[in-house]
Amino acid sequence: MSNPILDLFLEAAWQTFAMVGISSLIALLAGVPLAVILVITAPGGLWEQRVVNRVLGAVINGFRSTPFIILLVALLPITRLIVGTTIGTAAAIVPLAIAATPFFARVAEVSLREVDKGLIEAAQAMGARKAEIVWHVLLPEALPSLIAGFTLTIITLIGASAMAGAVGAGGLGDLAIRYGYQRFETDIMLGVIAVLIALVALVQRTGDRLAARVNKRA
């Protein structure tokens, strides 16, 4: 015989995993290229293009400076256009991904800028092309820091997904609001908090171990 409370937790946890997993993957796939463009088009970069750098930087800063709850509401027309609805887990993925991508792009940019300039100059001296320097020098050398930044992005998304529950996105945040807050079921509220803490700890531990494993200088 199934336990209704356990079923609620499992369904909410699955919705949270779906929201965070898909939106973080989109942020990874879009954020790294954006970070690379920001770095190579910056003054003194491999492909200096100040106009491109400033415009892209301004767009990224615009999304980053907008609080997520406001961005969530502002993107409702785009969300409806993409997924056909503004309610539910699928609808929450759109603003989550759009919010996470510029955040991770800036984090990844910092990681790429920390790569030793001497390595880049050595690669240039050996006749390496720009694409080769990016692929074989910048990204591999920045990989441990990129993993740490991506871990931070996932943790940020976990918090944002809980916030998205306030507007009917489902997940653990929605469970806490509908049952823990509106129905005064404190045990469910505490249970959600415990699950979120455990999830964040698991993500942080996994990210730290993976970053240490790929760090050749550790």
Name the residue among 25, 34, 87, 42 with its Cα closest to residue 63: 34
Would the pTM of this model clear 0.85, i.e. be above it?
yes
Contacts of 213 (CB under 8 A, 6+ apart): none
Q: CB 58: neighbour CB atoms within 10 A?
A: 9
* CB within 8 Å of 109: residues ≥ 6 apart: 35, 38, 39
Which amino acid belongs to residue 112? L
Each of the 218 residues of the chain gets a pLDDT tens digit; together they read 567 778 888 888 999 999 999 999 999 999 999 999 999 999 988 899 999 999 999 999 999 888 888 888 888 899 899 988 888 888 899 999 999 999 999 999 999 999 998 999 899 899 889 899 999 999 999 999 999 999 999 999 998 988 887 667 788 888 888 877 777 778 888 888 899 999 999 999 999 999 999 986 54
Residue 173 CA to residue 8 CA, distance in Å, equals 12
What are the structure tokens assigned to 30, written together?
């879009």
Contacts of residue 108, defined as CB under 8 A and 6 or more positions apart, other chains included, come to 31, 32, 34, 35, 142, 146, 149
